[in-house]
Structures are given as structure tokens and as C-alpha cells.
Amino acid sequence: MLSSRMLFEHPRLTVAEDTVELPNGKTIQYVHYPYHGHGGVIVVCRRGDNILVQQEYSYPVDEVLYQFPGGKIEAGEDVCAAAQRELAEESGVVMTGVRACGWLYADNRRTSAKLHVVYGEYAGANHQHRPDDTEQIISEWLPITTIHRMVATGAITNYAMLAAWALLASTLQQAGDSRADRWVAPARGRRLILNEYAKIIIESTVDHLLAAEKGE
């Protein structure tokens, strides 16, 4: 970074413009969101053949979207501990066999914030359920096969949920977990599901390119 200036500051968002030199030697101005937090968690909780999902209204797109439970990681908090806390607060659920499955950038074009995917099995209800007053969340258990179908038909459009689903499947496969086959390969076959994920990624990339050409 050659220089930096702050464009906008708000308790929830900071926008800066940096002058940077790219690997090819070209100098550009880059607008981004400086991040000083500890990342977030996406929680995938399984109960038999069902997965806990949520529906929540998203103002920017003016739609109710499906998502996995999750939230921010507090200072000094372990990733798995954050997942347990967020799950209890949002859905009143406790997990066992909790494991971290990897992470992804929340938006690598604008911020360095990371989202960690955490998996666990349902272990019971937590009566300390304390949803945020600003959150209007509906929690429900959906069959794994239903989620596969929703992904394939475009009913799930939340990128973080799609990415977490694919990352979890890959992690279970690499670990030799016998449950991975049910996760990745429903009756129609593993190749079709992977093709659907590829289609979603390609469409998203094309949208970004078109937006860039229009200067959006």
C-alpha cells in the first residue's frame, strides 16, 4: 500500500480508498472495507437426516433468504465456542462432536474478514435462548435431500450457505467420514450436484464481470 484515505466511517462499516501497486507493477486506487474484527462462524447442525436452517429477511435484496445459523466471533473466543454460543442464542440448540471444517473470505473483493464453517450434531435444547431484538429469524429442520434439491433448483441463493455446504461436503469426504456420501450424493448422483455448484459459481462470476463493465 502506497497511501490510504478514509472515505466513510460508521460503527457498522468503514470504507477506505488505498493507492496500491499490483504484482504487475501497475498502480491503482482500491476501495475496500478495513476489517479489524475476529471473523464470523457459519454453523451446520445435524439431527439425524435433517439440518438446522433459518429464514431471515434481508433488506438489501428485499427477500426472506435461507441461511445457516451464525454470527461474529468475539475477542479471544475459539471458533467452535463461538459456533456453540451463536447457535444457542439464535436457535436455542446445543451441539456435540463440534469440529471446524475450514473457512472462506466473506468478500475478498472488499474485505479480509473470514467466515469459519463449523459442524456438529444436535445434543439438545438450550433454554438460554436470547435472540437479538433486531433479528427476525425462523429456525427449522430440513432433510438433507430437500436442501440438495433447493440448491439445484435455485431456491437457496445465500452465497455463504452454498459455500459452507460445499466446504462441509469436501471436509467430510477428505476425513473419510461415511456420512459424506449422503451429504454430497443424493439419489441423482454426485456428479450432478457438483455440476450444480459449478453452475452457481460460474453465474455469480459472470454477474460480477457484467457489473464491473457497467461500473457498478
The answer to whether residue 20 is domain-embedded is yes
Last residue of a domain, one of 164, 189, 209: 164
Q: Which of 14, 11, 12, 16 is nearest to 1 (CA)?
A: 16
Cα(15)–Cα(145) distance, integer angstroms: 41
Cell of 49: 437426516
Span 89-126, pLDDT tens digits: 988 999 999 999 999 999 999 999 999 999 999 999 87
Residues 43 and 7 in one domain: no
Residues 87 and 143 in one domain: yes
Handedness of CA 178, 183, 187, 190 (dihedral sign): negative
Cα(123)–Cα(139) distance, integer angstroms: 16
Residues 29 and 40 in one domain: no
Span 137-177, pLDDT tens digits: 899 999 999 998 998 899 999 999 999 998 888 877 776 66
CATH number of the domain to which 126 belongs:
3.90.79.10
Residues 158 and 97 in one domain: yes
Span 11-68, pLDDT tens digits: 889 999 999 999 999 999 999 999 999 999 999 999 999 999 999 999 999 999 999 9
Instruction: Provide the pLDDT confidence category of residue 180 given band limits of 50, 70 and 90.
Output: low
Give me the number of domains the chain comprises.
2
What is Dmax (Cα atoms) for the chain?
A: 57
